[in-house]
Amino acid sequence: MTSHAESLDLNLRHLRALCAVAASGSIAAAAEELYRVSSAVTRSIAELEAALQRPLFERHARGTVLNAYGQLVLVRALRIDAEFEAARTQLMARGGVKGSTDANSLFASILNGRRLAVVASLADRRNMAAVAREFGITQPAVSAALKDLETRLGVPLFERTARGLAPTQAGQIVAFYFRRVLAELRNIVPDIAASEGVLTGSVHVGALPLGRTHILPLAIAALLDKHPGLHIATEESPYDALAASLRSGDLDFILGALRPGELTAELTAEPLFEDRLSLIVRAGHPLSRVTQGLGALSGARWVLSRRGAPSRELFEQCFAASGLPAPVPAVETGDLAVLRALLLESDMVTAISAHQLRYEILDGSLVELAIPLGSTRRQIGLTQREDCFPSPGARALMQEIRRVVADAAVFRRPGGAKVYATSG
C-alpha cells in the first residue's frame, strides 16, 4: 500500500473527481460538473485507485458506486474540500483576495500534498533554501510553486525582509489551512489500513508536563506492542503553542491539565481524572515530618514553576486562601530534570503533581509532605479540535490513555485524584 510519505503525492484533482463521481453516480455527470471530458475523469479515478492500491468504486450498468474503501476516502476528500473552502472564505474576508472564484479554481495550482507542505514549511522556516533542502527540490522550484499560487490568488503570501521571508496575512491564512488539509491527506492511507485491521501512520501528541512521566509512556508502550507499525511523535511546549498546533492540524490531541477558561469553540476537552499539587522534598529533609500546615514552611527555600504557569497560580492562590503571603522562589524552572536534581541535592521544596515525580517517590528518594494543598485541584484530560476526525492511530492511543487512567490505582488514592468515567 502507499506509504505515509507517498500519500503527500496523492493528486488533489483525483480526489475532487472521486467526490464528483460519488455525488452524481456516473462518470459522464461528474465530467460535466468538473468541465472535463469523461476519459479524463476515468483516468483520474484509475490513477487514484492505483496510488492507493485499492478499488474505490463498483461499476454497474446503472452507474458507478463507491465501495467501502471509496467511502473511507470520500470522508477525507470532503473534509479537504471544506478546508479549502474555509481558506477561500478567510482570504476573501481578511487576506485581500478579490472576486468570487470557487475554492477549487483558486487553489488549482496546488496539485498534491507535497506542494501544500512546501508552502506550510515556508511559513515556519521563512527561508526558501532551507525548504528546498527539506523537500529535496531546487530553490527555483520552490519559488515557481509559490509564484503560481500567488498569481492565482492575486495577493502576495510572503514578503522579503532582512531576516528572510515573512508571511503576509494571506500567507498565514493559507499556511494554516494547508496544514489542516495535510492532516486529512495523511490519514487516507491509515484509514484504509485500519479497515483491514492494521494500524499505520503517525500520531502527533502534545504532551503537557503531567502526562509525560507516567500516563503517556505506558499508553504508548502498550499501543506499540499491539501495533508496531505505528509511529508516535510527542511535542513538549507551553500550552498556547500546543493549542495553536492542535488548531492547525499539526497535533492530533493534547494530554495534560485542562484549561477550561481558555477553551474556544474550536477546542473540546475530555476530563480523565482530577489531580492536586503536592509538596515534595528529598528523603530525610528537615521538613519531612512536619504536619502543622503551611505556616511551618515560612523558612523554606522554594523551587517553583515559572510565574504565570497554571500550577504556580494554583499554588499562590492556596497560600492566599490561608491568609499567608506566597513564597518567593529561589529558583523558577519548567524543566523537570533541573527540578528533580535540585530536590535531590538540596533542601529545597517544590509544589508539583506527585505523578510527575512518581518514580522518585516510589523508590523513596523523594517524599510528599503531609501538608495537603486541597485547593489546588485541577482536571487532567484530553484536548482535541471540536470538528476533528482523528486518525485510527490517534483514536487508539487516546483509548490506551483512558485505559491506563482507569486501571491505575494511583489515580484513585484517598485524598488524591478521582477517576472520571469516559466514553470509548
CA distance 59 to 21: 11
User: What CATH code is carried by the domain that includes residue 389?
Assistant: 3.40.190.10
pLDDT of residue 410: 64
What grid cell was written down for 417? 485524584
Nearest to 275 by CA among 254, 257, 253: 257
Nearest to 113 by CA among 14, 44, 213: 14
Give me the domain span that covers residue 225.
Answer: 199-271+384-410
Same-domain check for residues 69 and 182: yes
**Band of residue 413 on the pLDDT scale cut at 50, 70, 90:** very low
Share the mean pLDDT of the chain: 90
Same-domain check for residues 281 and 266: no
Same-domain check for residues 68 and 25: yes
Is 232 inside any structural domain?
yes
pLDDT at 60 over 50: yes
Write out pLDDT tens, residues 262-321: 666 689 999 999 999 999 999 999 998 887 788 888 889 999 999 888 899 999 999 998
Rounding to the nearest 10 degrees, give the CA dihedral for residues 196, 197, 203, 208. Answer: 150
Is 94 inside any structural domain?
yes
User: In this predicted model, which residue has the larger pLDDT, 424 or 177?
Assistant: 177
pLDDT of residue 424: 33
Cell numbers 483558486 correspond to 106
Q: Which percentage of the chain shows pLDDT scores above 70?
A: 93
How many structural domains are present in the chain?
Answer: 3
User: What CATH code is carried by the domain that includes residue 77?
Assistant: 1.10.10.10
pLDDT of residue 1: 53
pLDDT at 125 over 90: yes
pLDDT of residue 172: 95
Is 419 inside any structural domain?
no
Cell numbers 477525507 correspond to 76
Is 192 inside any structural domain?
no
CA distance 172 to 215: 35
Same-domain check for residues 31 and 103: yes
Same-domain check for residues 308 and 405: no
Q: How far is the CA of 22 from the CAs of 30, 107, 181, in angstroms?
A: 8, 22, 20
pLDDT at 386 over 80: yes
